[in-house]
Structure 1
Amino acid sequence: MNNQSKLENVNVTTLKNEKHTKASEAATLHKQRKLKKAGLFALFVGPAFLAFALIVLIPFFTGMYYAFTDWNGVTGNIKWVGLDNFTYLFTEDKQFQTSFWLTLRYTVVAIILTNGVGFGLALLVTRMLKTRNILRTVFFLPNLIGGLLLGFIWQFIFIKGFASIGQLTGLSFFKLSWLGDEKTAFWGIVIVSVWQGAGYIMLIYTAALQNVPQELLEAAKIDGANKWQTLRHITLPMVAPAVTVCLFLTISSSFKIFDVNLSLTNGGPFKSTEMLALNIYTEAFVNNRYGLGEAKALVFFIVVALITIIQVTYTKRKEIES
């Protein structure tokens, strides 16, 4: 009996050892798989994250530090000034305040016109027209032209082209000093920006309109709904996600307008059309007050971030309600 008990104990111990060995092998295999997945993830994501960190994250946090200094952007003398830059912005820097409200006004106008024109063009090119593919290309082409080049082209059009048309036709619209007057220069920037951006917005709305079920449109037509009722109660609710995206894109691009502003008016006449991005650039790289420019950029970032978050949250909520 003693020998049998000993044999049974040996068998139990052997089974326990085998189970423990298998569990250890399974744990090791699981760990190896996790390491392999982590390695593949690092291999694919690592270079992109490194580039993002070098180009975006490090300059962003470095700029946040400089916003609290009086660095001129050239010498190595950096003095910590705390909130002095921000106090100066909101109390003494009138040009910053003027540029801020001008940018806000421009953004509202550009958002409405760019989305309105883009949606109108999308409705046009989704019609069963023989030339719809050509029209899509023509409407999208301005978006491929760089902002600086576009500004110089339209500067020639406003100064030389419109003047020639005005002489030939006698129309006062073409005789206006488009870039020499504060009011018309503002609208000149709006015209160029809408002309450039509407084609891109058109593509997003076109994709959304093509996904609207034709059965719904046909049913509405049979029920006696006119085109406006169909657009308001069927088409617009169905393309609500595209509206959210387009509003986000136009808000972001309108607030950050720089190249068209620089090449078309350079902030003139007398800084009356100097948008916020151009004001920040001038402060940092022309006036050599880099710390103050970074303070303006930080305020600019916070304002744009808050506005876009509110916009996306609100439009997403409206999507769910509709």
Structure 2
Amino acid sequence: MSTTTRPATSRRPRNRRTGPGRAYYWMVLPALVLFLIFHTAPVLQGVFYSFTDSPGYGDWDFVGLSNYAALFGDERVRAAYWFTFRFALVATVLVNVVALALAVGLNGRIRFKNTLRGVYFVPNVLAVLVVGYVFNYLFTNSLPSIGAALGIDRLSTSLLADPELAWVGIVVLAVWQAVAFNIIIYLAGLQTVPAELYEAAAIDGAGPWKRFWSITFPMIAAFFTLNMVLSLKNFLQVFDHIIAMTGGGPGTATESVSVLIYKGGFQGGEYGYQIANAVVFMVVLVVFAVVQLRVLRREEVSA
């Protein structure tokens, strides 16, 4: 008489914990507290002072929405916003065109590819203020000397001393410095494109330009969106470049919103007024980021 033995079923202990454990809270809570103390609290304090006439010290009084109403009638504020938008748009387009072109070239079969990647990334690790003073010297001294030696009157004077062209020098510095980071992002995106797609397109007779628009760009559309949003956000907040190159001059020709807030709030006794300007500028940055993300995301889907 044979007996069949059933294999013993092993019972696994049930984990009754459905939520995060104590270690999770001990790691998150300190970061949350620090964020509230050093970020949220100062922001709320700034919003509070935007409704006052505080000069940054001493006594102050509530003025309600007077600061915000005065901003829309201030010619200097409008000029600062116009310069900032114009600079950010031009710099964003140029930096992404240059970075994408260099990234596509570096991703191809060229010699010293890894060395060139390191060389192109160098500007990103340099301090903007230090590089800005170097570019200031080049535009103020070196370039005029070269222009005078070649007999070019247009280049014989400093570009930064011309109210109509000083912003061009700042754009050159900003693009040169920002291209490095964008190249790295684009290179990461290009690594995700399967090589088989290019081989199939080459067999079908597609040229380099056709392969770029039909394969490369649609495949890295998400990386293009990331670079565009980050570039526009950073250029709208331009500050160091201007301080090192022109200080906002000649006159107020290159005065961005950030520079105006700094000068008026900390040097001009307009602390409450410029805090209101900063609050409006923060809202503008959020609106730009949201709109830009929605538009570019829609383009990604259509691509």
CA deviations 1:28-82 (Å, max 9, x no partner) are x84xx468x342122212222222222211111111111111111111x231111
* 2:109 paired with 1:146: no
CA RMSD, Structure 1 to Structure 2 (Å): 1.6
Instruction: Answer yes or no: is the 8 Å Cα contact 2:56–2:265 preserved in 1.
Output: yes
Query: 2:238 is paired with a residue of what secondary structure?
Result: coil
In structure 2, distance between residues paired with 1:210 and 1:164: 44
Aligned residue for 2:23?
Answer: 40
User: Match of 2:110?
Assistant: 129
Write the letter of the residue equivalent to 1:56. Answer: H
**Shift in CA distance, 246/40, structure 1 to aligned 2, threshold 3 Å:** same
1:72 aligns with 2:55: yes
Quote how far apart the aligned CAs of 1:170 are. 3.6
CA contact (8 A) 1:177 1:184 kept: no
Could you tell me how far apart the structure 1 residues matched to 2:151 and 2:188 are? Answer: 42
Q: Sequence identity, in percent?
A: 34
Q: 155, 164, 188: which one pairs with 1:183?
A: 164
Aligned counterpart, 1:193: 174
- The DSSP-based 3-state class of the residue aligned with 2:72 is helix
Q: Do 1:85 and 1:295's aligned partners in 2 also have CA atoms closer than 8 Å?
A: yes
CA-to-aligned-CA distance 1:273-317 (integer Å, 9 cap, x gap): 101100011111011211111100011011110011011112112
Name the counterpart of 2:202.
221
Residue equivalent to 2:228: 247
Which of 1 and 2 has greater Rg?
A: 1
C-alpha distance after superposition, 1:147-175 (max 9, x if no partner): 21121111111112212322444445642
- The aligned length equals 290
> Does 2:139 correspond to 1:158?
yes
Greater per-residue helix proportion = 1
Q: Which amino acid aligns with 2:88?
A: T
Alignment-derived partner of residue 286 in structure 1: 267
1:238 pairs, out of 192, 216, 219, with: 219
User: Cα 1:221–1:88, aligned 2, differ >3 Å: closer, same or farther?
Assistant: same
In structure 1, what residue type is equivalent to 2:140?
I
Q: 1:82-110 deviations in whole A, cap 9, x for unaligned?
A: 1100111101x110110001101111101
Residues 252 and 304 in structure 1, CA contact (< 8 A), matched pair in contact too: yes
Looking at structure 2, the residues matched to 41 and 280 of structure 1 have their Cα atoms a distance apart, in angstroms, of 40
**Aligned-partner residue type, residue 184 of structure 2:** L
C-alpha deviation, 1:188, in angstroms? 0.3
Distance (whole Å) between structure 1 residues aligned to residue 149 and residue 117 of structure 2:
32
Q: Which residue of 1 aligns with 2:72?
A: 90
1:234-257, Cα deviation, whole Å (9 max, x unpaired): 111000000110011101101000
Note the C-alpha offset of 1:190.
0.3
Quote the Cα distance in structure 2 between the aligned partners of 1:84 and 1:58. 23
Change in 2 beyond 3 A, CA 1:81/1:117:
same
Q: In structure 1, what is the Cα distance between the partners aligned to 2:30 and 2:233?
A: 27
1:58 aligns with 2:38: no
Contiguous gaps of at least 5 residues in structure 1: 1-25
- The DSSP-based 3-state class of the residue aligned with 1:224 is coil
Aligned residue number for residue 5 of structure 1: none
Alpha-carbon distance, 1:321 to partner: 2.2
SS at 1:284 equivalent: helix
Q: Deviations over 1:197-222 (max 9, x none)?
A: 01110110111112111111111111
Which residue identity does 1:147 align to in structure 2? V
Q: SS in structure 1 opposite 2:161?
A: coil
Tell me, which stretches of 5 or more residues in structure 2 are unaligned? 1-13
Q: TM-score, structure 2 length as denominator?
A: 0.91
Equivalent residue number for residue 103 of structure 1: 84
Decide whether the 8 Å contact of 2:135 with 2:173 is kept in 1.
Answer: yes
- Partners of 1:138 and 1:161 in 2: how far apart? 24
* Distance across 1 between alignment mates of 2:96 and 2:164: 22
Retained in 1: the 8 A contact 2:143–2:158? no
Letter in 1 for 2:267: V
